[in-house]
Amino acid sequence: MIWADQIVQGIFLGGYYALIACGLSFMFGVLRIINLAHGSIAVLSAYLVWMLADRWNVSPFLALVAIVPAMAAAGWLLQRTVLERSLRSGALTPLLSTFGLAVMLDNLLFEKFGADTRSLAPNIGDLAFNSWTVGGGVTIGQLALLTFGVALALLGGLQLFLNRTPLGRAIRATAEDADTAELVGIDSRRVYAAAAAIAIATVAIAGTFLGMRATFDPYTGPAQLIFAFEAIVIGGTGSLWGTLIGGIVLGVAQNLGSQVSPRGFLIAGHAVFFVVLAARFVLAGRDPRTLFGALRRAPI
């Protein structure tokens, strides 16, 4: 029965991983950028929400109303001022610039907030620890269920947005062929900036849930980036629903691993990631370029 519970908890943990991976997947699918500052931006968002919650006693959910648009604007600016220029200089430059951004953000957060761990759990009352027992030793945490629901809503909403709105179609067209998109009147620079804004806005939501479900400190970001990246690779890069599946596979593997050994949580997750990555290499004919090409898919 413990195993059944661990699988259920793993599925819900997968919801969180899908939530944190959503923006990374979206950014890679549209902009072809692996944003190494992704985890650090999530932690920055958690700190911003924590500041509002701690100083003005604002509910973290209410704080999102202010933080999400602010982070979207930051995403827009980041694209127009840094990433757009980086992209012109080849595939390696965006990696270096987002790595630099991550280092800068982590250290600025350390400078401002110190090494103390924080959490948004005290600001959400019983929701942080309340759960339902559904029988057979399986429990469902209210926050875990909410996180999973938000991940589903966000991924579904993004999918609807991409399929049903003019901007969504423009994003898909640009992701597929930016030069041709220009030839049908789509300003690819604006579309890229809008996509970056959307991606960073989703990171803000994920960062807030990170703060509610766990503790965080200025150097929590890189670990979150790794989990998000693993979820994406397992589920298929650039595919939004694949991200959810990848997150669930990672979450279940980690929880089952933790039942085998205390260190099994991380090892099992990394092992699944490694096996999937290796399988992709083999299926891609052992050609890293083919693998990289296979990763280049639009988020549709």
Note the residues at the interface with another protein (CB under 8 A). 166, 169-170, 172-173, 176-177, 179-188, 298, 300
- Compute the Cα dihedral for 266, 268, 272, 275 and give only its sign: positive
SS3 label, residue 133:
strand
Residue with smaller CB distance to another protein, 107 or 180: 180
Locate 209 and state its tokens.
């849930």
On the 0-12 / 13-18 / 19+ scale of CB atoms within 10 A, 113 is middle
* Shortest Å, Cβ 164 to another protein: 10
Smallest separation (angstroms) from another protein to the CB of 179 = 6
For helices 60-78 and 38-56, give the axis angle rounded to 10 degrees: 140
Specify the amino acid at residue 173.
Answer: A
Closer residue to another protein, CB minimum distance, 166 or 262: 166
Q: Is 138 helix (H, G, I), strand (E, B) or coil?
A: strand
- Please say which residue, 185 or 288, places its beta carbon nearer to another protein: 185
Q: With respect to another protein, which residue has the nearer C-beta, 2 or 183? A: 183
> Shortest approach of another protein to residue 249 CB, angstroms?
25
Angle at 154 between CA 150 and CA 155, to 5 degrees: 120
Q: In angstroms, give the least distance from the CB of 79 to another protein.
A: 17
The rounded distance, in Å, linking the Cα atoms of 13 and 32 is 27
Taking the complex as a whole, the smallest distance from the CB of residue 178 to another protein amounts, in Å, to 10
Residue with smaller CB distance to another protein, 159 or 215: 159
The tokens describing 105, both together, are 């953000």
CB of 162 to another protein, least distance (A): 10
Q: Please, are residues 191 and 26 in contact by the beta-carbon 8 Å criterion?
A: no
Chain-centre distance for alpha carbon 272 = 19
Q: In the complex with another protein, which residue's Cβ is closer, 89 or 180?
A: 180
Place of tokens 């901007």: 167
